[in-house]
Structure 1
Amino acid sequence: MMKKRWMMPLLMVMAVVVLVFAILPYWFGIRTEKTMRSHQHLLEQNGVVEVVKYDYERGWFDSTETTVLRFRPNLVQKLGGNVPDNLKAIINEPFTITNHIKHGPFAGGITPVKAVSTSDVAFSPRAKQSLERFFRSQVPLTVKNRLNLFGGGVMKLQVPAFQYEELSGIAIDWKGLDVELDYSDNYDSYEVKSHSGGINVKLADKGQLTLENLDYTGNSKQNSSGLNVGSNEFKVAKAMMAWSEGVDYNIKLNSIINMMSDLQIGAFINPTGTVAPNNIAVNNFSLQRSTDEKDGFANAEALIHFDQLHYGKDVYGPLNVKASAEHLHAAALVKMNDGFFRLSNTKLDETQYRDALLKLAKTEGLPIFTNNPVFKISQFDLKMPDGQLKFTAEFGFKGLQAADMETFNALMAKTEAKVHVNAPQVLLENLAVAQADSIFSVDPDVENPPSMDEVRDTARMLVRSTINNMASAGYLTQQNGIVDSEMVVKNNELLLNGKRFETAPQQNIDDLMEEDAAASDVQAASAPATASAAK
């Protein structure tokens, strides 16, 4: 009788435990679906892919989430005809991500979790055929997602390594990619780490591309203003590109920048031309960025470094750059970013896009300019074949109002800037020569172009004459082949080395060439006398 009294409560406790463990997976399934649907909502707001179809089937112990995605049309349009056919087959075709979800406190093992999800990625037959050429029987992409018991989770993504080779001599050695994302609910904050051993692409006898050890780390959190603050770092141990022939290109840098950055800062860049036979290599490149916010205003800083840059036979480096933006209106930055997102998914030609950007700056971005922002390059230090280039700059607006942006004079009256340059004179001459080469060698509309030697000599002579005249006027200093000057813009005045700049009458180019020729004749005539005196 006594045993029956003790067994009854025990059986009741056991029944409750069994019932709880039976109900818990279902309850966790409800919470998991809510979390996964919030992730889906965030996915719909990105600028790279669009959701074609979404479905969620919730079961008692496991569920299935199916999402059909397609890369946004503007992704291909931004690169124009520069996308290989194999890549087009992958970008243009929709693909399906199926998440197999197990929910319950012990779905991931001993450590309690809300749920564990494993993703399968299925591509269209055409895209699958293209991918199989590289990955063969390997799954091109695997994603595992662990939803933590009390919110957030950890997502791991992996792209396996492969080796690909053709009889034509084309070979690709891809070292794989691993990404780990530790995130909070709704991705209000996250930490990310990614590593790739790199890639080596050999284009038969045409050239070669190598990237070694690519690493990215970052952390971010969203403030009440909606601004994401935090820091990140991108590092490449080595990047090398070599080609054996001149390469004609019409890749628009603004398109690439717009595709890779939410800032859309490349709208005014559009170079085309020919890359001469050469090679480029960069060692130990790093980019560090950080953003913080205080009292509704954001401050951002970027550090850029590389050890060496090899361009043909020339060696540059090390390079150290420190740039910053201070006192930026945080809420306006968020609105500007939203505006960039809308524009990036709108079909506009370049002129329309530039006009839309200017309009966006004058409307949503207006508080950025009317709250005394400051932009700085506090360090630009680059060792070049011709010497050391040092450069600092500071630019900002003081007391700018909306009406001041309508006229140039009113805008300049509220503009303050300071630029300090320290550079070898021969470097400035060579930059002018390189610019002249670019203008006259690329422009196909010039009839009977002048001799390139004459063009280079004229460019070099103009730089020398300008530097000599400005040194004589006290606008810069010239010592031991080094040019040093500080430019200040304030109160609608331009000061060079503390002296107000006044434009001088422009000298005729022919007169300058005659003076240069005369100086050369005098130098040549004095050479024998100098030699005799030396003897």
Structure 2
Amino acid sequence: MKRNVLIAGAAAVVVLAASYVGGAWFAGAAAETTLQKQHEWLTGLPYFIVKNRQYERGWFSSTEKTTLKVNPELYRFALEKEGEPLPEFEVTYTQHITHGPLPLLSHFNLHPYKAVVTTDFEFAPATKKLLDKFFGDKTPISIENRIGFDDDGVIKVKVPGFDYEEAISGVKAKWLGLDTTVDYGGDFNRVKIDLNAPGLSGEAKGKGTFDFKNLQVTLDHTRGKTGLMVGQTLAHFDSLDVNLQEGTPLKLRLENAGYTGKLVENGEFIDGTAEFKLAKLVLDGKPYGPAELQASARHLHGPTLAKLGDAFTALQKKPIKRDQFADQLSKLAHDEGMPLLEHDPQLAIDKLEVKLPDGDIHFNGSVGLKGFQRGDIDKPVELVKKLNAKADFKVPRKVVETVIAWQATRMFGGPDSGISQADLDYLAGQFVEGQINRLAEQKLIRVEGDMLAATADLSKGAFTLNGVNVPMPWAASSPAAAEPAK
């Protein structure tokens, strides 16, 4: 009996071992297919060009080594110099793939995965030397990708913090690190991102300081029926302080700034909204805010947006000059973008409010097309007749006076003109008063106590400003618009 138990136990161990070995082989083959999909997704982005990729599959683990070059078309406009070769930026990384079914067994983690992938980066000597100055012996970036058997996975990216100081120059920098989690679907048709960067501060002796605190970004997108990624994006930071001491001194502080963006599908159309909020801005000791901006884009033709996105990505990968890029971009918009205009799109700034020491600024406006046909693009009059636009704003008179007075002071020569400041202020004041009165007399603005306002409307080719009909240029020359003879 005892012998039978031992034989049965040994057989079970052999079966389990064989199952694990076989499972590791098949998991390795499946992991290679999954990583090929991820590689194709990466190379489909406009940011990189793959120079080399090698994949060596083993039984329990595999290795992938890839060299990427940053697409030079992304920075050609900024770094290209006549007669000099364009610099190239490359990064080589090696992925160490541990096959399932229990790739984390050595870490006493029994969670099953198809594979767990860790990534090492090889930097150019000059880049490594620079990074070592900041991170020392720490790994500048670590990435772990845990791939499930359904190809869904989680990528964790970590960048450690550093505290850097140069005693001679007086330069200081403190980085509190970065943590990012990417939860993705197997075909990248679902992506969730959580990013947290606690802060970055720095100082240059005698020149200035800056301090940026607590950046948080979350994204939750899924691929819609039109092929576009739709969902929500949130971003927020606690504060940004900038103090420039050299040249023109400047003190700037932003507090509690946030962004919320949403894209949703309605049938074959895309509706998008964006909202920016700022709790407070302090500029050279003067407080401004809160401020809020709400914008929207509605009834955008989804299949056309998807097609334009793919074509634009392909265009970005082409080695063409700036003027050629602009020409081809214009041609792309003309040839492929017309359905956007043919499906009655609507764009709007639904709300813009800014609180200032002298009062609040209010603005809203919208523009849309109704009944546009492809041939209207070459008929400006017909195009305008199919535009519907509205705008309404109110701004404190004091703000307008300050801006115009500043411009007037410069026009009169400023401090170097030889005119006393009192005389400059008087001349600027008279100029401002005259300009505002002239605009009010011409009905271009409305004076409402301490506020200046205007309302504009364009509908079916007719334009009104502050309730007054404004003849369009073509209407003035049209026989139908002429006054009857007396």
**Aligned residue in 2 for 1:53:** 52
Name the counterpart of 1:397: 369
Residues 210-257 of structure 1, C-alpha deviation per residue, up to 9 Å, x if partnerless?
A: 2111110011111232111011111111112221223xxxxxxxxxxx
Give yes or no for contact 1:298–1:329 (8 Å, CA) kept in 2.
yes
Partner of 2:278: 306
1:489 counterpart = 2:423? no
Q: Residues 362 and 46 from structure 1, CA distance in 2 versus in 1: closer, same or farther, beyond 3 angstroms?
A: same
Matching residue's letter, 1:420: D
Q: Quick one: distance in 2 between partners of 1:439 and 1:122?
A: 57
* One-letter amino acid of the structure 1 residue matched with residue 26 of structure 2: W
Matched to 2:232, the amino acid is S
Equivalences for residues 498-517 of structure 1 within 5 A: 498-501=467-470
Alpha-carbon spacing, 1:230–1:312, altered in 2? closer, same or farther (3 Å): same
Q: How does 1:190-209 map to 2 (within 5 A)?
A: 190-209=191-210
Give the share of equivalent positions with the same residue, in percent: 28
Aligned twin of 1:86: none
Corresponding position of 1:373: 345
Q: Determine helix, strand or coil for the equivalent of 2:114.
A: strand
Residue aligning to 1:176: 177
Matches within 5 A, 1:121-136: 121-136=121-136
Cα offset, 1:376, TM superposition:
1.1
* Equivalent residue in structure 2 for 1:102, among 89, 98, 102: 98
CA contact (8 A) 1:429 1:459 kept: no
TM-score where L is the length of structure 2: 0.86
User: Which runs of 5 or more residues in structure 2 are unaligned?
Assistant: 473-486
- CA positional deviation for 1:149: 2.3
Q: Which amino acid aligns with 2:58?
A: G
SS at match of 1:375: strand
Counterpart-to-counterpart distance in 2, 1:50 and 1:155: 22
For structure 1, the residue ranges without an aligned partner over 5 or more in a row are 83-88, 247-275, 442-447, 504-535
Post-superposition offset of 1:456: 8.8
Please tell me whether residue 19 in structure 1 is matched to residue 7 in structure 2: no
Q: For residue 498 of structure 1, what is the amino acid of its counterpart?
A: G
Distance in 1 of aligned mates of 2:8 and 2:41? 49
> Would you say the 8 A contact 2:233–2:262 is kept in 1?
yes
Pairing 1:118–2:118 present: yes
Q: Give the Cα–Cα distance (whole angstroms) in 1 for the partners of residues 91 and 237 of structure 2.
A: 30
2:69 counterpart letter in structure 1? R
Task: Write the distance in 2 (CA, Å) between the matches of 1:162 and 1:467.
Answer: 55
The verdict on how the C-alpha distance between 1:419 and 1:226 changes in structure 2, with shifts beyond 3 A counting, is same
Corresponding residue for residue 412 of structure 1: 384
Distance in 2, matches of 1:417 and 1:360, equals: 26
Residue 233 (structure 2) aligns with? 232
Tell me which amino acid in the other structure corresponds to 2:242: M
Partner in structure 2 of residue 142 of structure 1: 142
Contact 1:329 1:368 in 2 (8 A): yes
> C-alpha separation between the residues in 1 aligned to 2:23 and 2:4?
29
Q: The residue matched to 2:336 in structure 1 has which SS?
A: coil
Q: Are 2:159 and 1:163 aligned?
A: no
Q: How far apart are the structure 1 equivalents of 2:381 and 2:418?
A: 39
Secondary structure of residue in 2 paired with 1:139: coil
Q: In structure 1, what is the equivalent of residue 478 of structure 2?
A: none
- Per-residue deviation at 1:136? 1.1
Instruction: Output the CA distance in 2 between the equivalents of 1:423 and 1:397.
Output: 28
- Report how many aligned residue pairs link the two structures: 461
Find the counterpart in structure 2 of residue 524 from structure 1. Answer: none
Q: Is the 8 A contact 1:93 1:127 kept in 2?
A: no
Q: Counterpart amino acid of 1:417?
A: A
Between the aligned partners of 1:119 and 1:150, the Cα distance in structure 2 is: 22
Contact 1:180 1:194 in 2 (8 A): yes
* Cα distance in 2 for residues equivalent to 1:335 and 1:105: 40
Match of 1:215 in 2: 216
Structure 1, 189-198 or 422-431: larger mean CA deviation: 422-431
Residue type at the aligned position of 1:169:
G
Contact 1:280–1:312 (CA under 8 A) maintained in structure 2: yes
Provide the rounded CA distance (Å) in 2 between the counterparts of 1:339 and 1:489: 34
Report what 1:265 is aligned to.
Answer: none
Letter matched to residue 31 of structure 1: A
Paired AA for residue 236 in structure 1? F
Q: What is the CA RMSD across the aligned residues, in angstroms?
A: 3.2
The AA in structure 2 aligned to 1:122 is E
* Equivalent residue, structure 2, for 1:273: none
Give the Å deviation of 1:188: 0.8
Q: Deviations over 1:245-300 (max 9, x none)?
A: 23xxxxxxxxxxxxxxxxxxxxxxxxxxxxx4312221111111010111110000
Cα distance in 1 for partners of 2:402, 2:312 equals 38
Pick which of 303-312 and 34-43 moved more.
Answer: 303-312
Q: Within the alignment, does 1:385 sit opposite 2:357 as a pair? A: yes
Decide whether the 8 Å contact of 1:436 with 1:456 is kept in 2: no
Q: Is the 8 A contact 1:25 1:105 kept in 2?
A: yes
Deviation at residue 344 of structure 1 after TM alignment: 3.4
Q: Give per-residue Cα distances to partners, 1:167-223, cap 9 Å, x unaligned.
A: 211111111111000101021101110101121121221112221111100111112
Distance 1:439 1:144, change over 3 A: farther
Residues 451 and 75 (structure 1 numbering): CA distance in 2 closer, same or farther, change over 3 Å? Answer: farther
Relative to structure 1, the CA distance from residue 103 to residue 4 in structure 2 (aligned partners, 3 Å threshold; closer, same or farther) is same
User: In the alignment, which residue of structure 2 is the partner of 1:520?
Assistant: none
Cα drift, residue 301 of structure 1: 0.4
What's the offset of the Cα at 1:499? 2.2
